[in-house]
């Protein structure tokens, strides 16, 4: 915990005098205030000869990192840290605790640490906040391909719930697993969405799931890639439970693709929910990002599109400030702005609120400008080869996962 405020009042009764003691301890509190976060308080009382009042500044996911300032990134800026490789010019795969192989999903935790889906190594790694370039993971989940509750087959999308629990999309096992807060190396999942090894087009089955996002009520949205849909599951969760909402299809028994429209998903990959409850989906095949706003209904239309001028167009191969080509991941910063991994253009683009259809990006990483489209086969601190996912830390720094370079890079 970054800050700890203990306030104790001990008062004795039954005598002619009262004893009053106040103890206040503050650790790194100025850093917390610099993040401009709310400070939730928790009070506990005990009775006996007197009372003890304890006020605790809780570990809030939005306020636990020690922020000194919000970073400002310039066009094409280079990374300052790398994990999975020892330097910025290497890209070989490996299975040691400081190596990666075809990294896919990433998610930053409340302390500034990061969870990484190390897909081809069939494991999920956690790296602590402040880890140096080339550093090792401190938690390892999985590592041997399999179907047990402590194993994966091609883990991909990741998400964290408000309690710190971890959701992992186990793509080739056709399921999504939940791991409780505080899980340690080798730990097992405590909930399963989908049925292990079984595909189908029903409200309880998945077909090549790829992404997961947590909503503000603790429910989850799951990208069911090969069924061209997103499914919603409400808490509390039970193994093999049924979804209660579907996007991209009119019902739970249809799994067809089609031409781009406001209600169609041509190849969804990732999903995130913003602070207002809007659901954002990267539609990889249709080369766009779609937003859906509550209240939700089955098969409803999106109300925003980024990467294309309208809901019926795709802009594959047209490099520009307002286009995308096979976007795969996305993440929000604390101001509600969004970063998108523009996979085939080998870049990551940033869009600032307020949003509008077909809007321009206002920042880019991986390319020097919005018009460039380089092969990026040369490994460096400022290039991507296959940027697949992005996550923003509580203090606004950006991590990007690059499948082909077998690494994640940190900006600034």
Residue boundaries of the structural domains of the chain: 1-64, 81-411
Is residue 45 over pLDDT 80? no
At the topology level, CATH places domain 81-411 in Neuraminidase (2.120.10)
Strands (E), 253-374: 268-273, 279-283, 288-292, 304-306, 327-332, 338-342, 347-351, 363-365
pLDDT > 70: what percent of the chain?
83
Confidence bin at 63 (pLDDT 50/70/90): very low
Pair 18, 12: CB distance under 8 Å: yes
Strands (E), 195-247: 209-214, 220-224, 229-233, 245-247
For residue 279, the SS3 value is strand
Pair 31, 394: CB distance under 8 Å: no
Q: Mean of the pLDDT values across residues 292-306? A: 99
> What pLDDT sits at residue 375?
74
Average pLDDT value for the chain: 87
> What pLDDT sits at residue 70?
74
Confidence bin at 37 (pLDDT 50/70/90): very low
**pLDDT single digits (tens) 374-388:** 876 799 999 999 999
Q: Which of 132, 130, 172, 134 is nearest to 151 (CA)?
A: 172
> What pLDDT sits at residue 66?
64
Tell the residue number behind the tokens 């940027």, with chain if given: 387
Pair 338, 330: CB distance under 8 Å: yes
Distance, CA of 364 to CA of 160 (rounded, Å): 26
Pair 168, 124: CB distance under 8 Å: yes
**What is the rounded (10 degree) CA torsion for 363, 401, 325, 346?**
70
| Helices first, then strands: H and E counts in the chain | 1, 26
Is residue 27 over pLDDT 70? no
Q: Pick the range with the lowest mean pLDDT from 10-24, 85-99, 217-231, 241-255.
A: 10-24
Cβ burial 195-222 (10 Å sphere, 16+ → b, else e):
bbeebebebbbbbbbbbbbbbeeebbbb
Confidence bin at 49 (pLDDT 50/70/90): very low
Is residue 93 over pLDDT 70? yes
Is residue 390 over pLDDT 60? yes
Distance, CA of 280 to CA of 169 (rounded, Å): 17
Q: Which of 221, 212, 144, 206 is nearest to 175 (CA)?
A: 206
> What pLDDT sits at residue 48?
35
Distance, CA of 82 to CA of 61 (rounded, Å): 24
pLDDT > 90: what percent of the chain?
80
């Amino acid at each position: 915990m970054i800050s700890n405020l203990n306030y104790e009042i001990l008062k004795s009764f039954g005598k002619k005098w009262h004893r009053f003691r106040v103890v206040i301890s503050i650790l790194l509190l100025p850093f917390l205030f610099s993040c401009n976060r709310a400070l939730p308080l928790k009070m506990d009382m005990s009775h006996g000869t007197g009372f003890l009042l304890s006020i605790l500044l809780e570990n809030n996911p939005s306020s636990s990192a020690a922020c000194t300032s919000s970073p400002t990134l310039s066009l094409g800026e280079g990374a300052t840290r790398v994990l999975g490789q020892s330097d910025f010019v290497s890209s070989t795969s490996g299975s040691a605790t400081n190596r990666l192989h075809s990294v896919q999903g990433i998610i930053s935790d409340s302390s500034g640490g990061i969870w990484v889906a190390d897909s081809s190594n069939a494991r999920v790694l956690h790296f602590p906040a402040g880890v140096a370039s080339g550093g090792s993971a401190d938690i390892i989940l999985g590592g041997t391909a399999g179907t047990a509750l402590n194993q994966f087959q091609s883990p991909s999308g990741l998400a964290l719930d408000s309690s710190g629990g971890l959701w992992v999309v186990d793509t080739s096992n056709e399921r999504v697993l939940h791991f409780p807060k505080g899980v340690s190396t080798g730990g097992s999942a405590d909930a399963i969405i989908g049925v292990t090894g079984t595909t189908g087009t029903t409200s309880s089955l998945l077909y090549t799931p790829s992404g997961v996002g947590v909503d503000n009520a603790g429910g989850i949205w799951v990208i069911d890639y090969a069924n061209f849909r997103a499914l919603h599951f409400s808490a509390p969760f039970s193994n093999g439970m049924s979804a209660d909402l579907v996007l991209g299809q009119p019902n739970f028994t249809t799994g067809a693709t089609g031409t781009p429209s406001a209600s169609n998903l041509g190849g969804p990959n990732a999903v995130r929910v913003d602070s207002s409850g809007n659901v954002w989906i990267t539609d990889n095949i249709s080369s766009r990002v779609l937003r859906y706003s509550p209240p939700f209904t089955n098969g409803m239309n999106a109300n925003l599109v980024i990467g294309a001028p309208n809901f019926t167009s795709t802009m594959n191969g047209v490099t520009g400030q307002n286009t995308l080509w096979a976007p795969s991941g996305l993440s929000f910063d604390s101001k509600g702005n969004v970063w998108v991994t523009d996979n085939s253009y080998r870049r990551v683009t940033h869009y600032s609120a307020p949003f509008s259809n077909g809007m321009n990006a206002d920042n880019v990483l991986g390319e020097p400008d919005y018009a460039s489209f380089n092969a990026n086969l040369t490994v460096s601190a400022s290039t991507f080869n296959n940027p697949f996912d992005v996550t923003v830390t509580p203090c606004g720094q950006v991590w990007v996962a690059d499948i082909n370079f077998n690494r994640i890079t940190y900006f600034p």
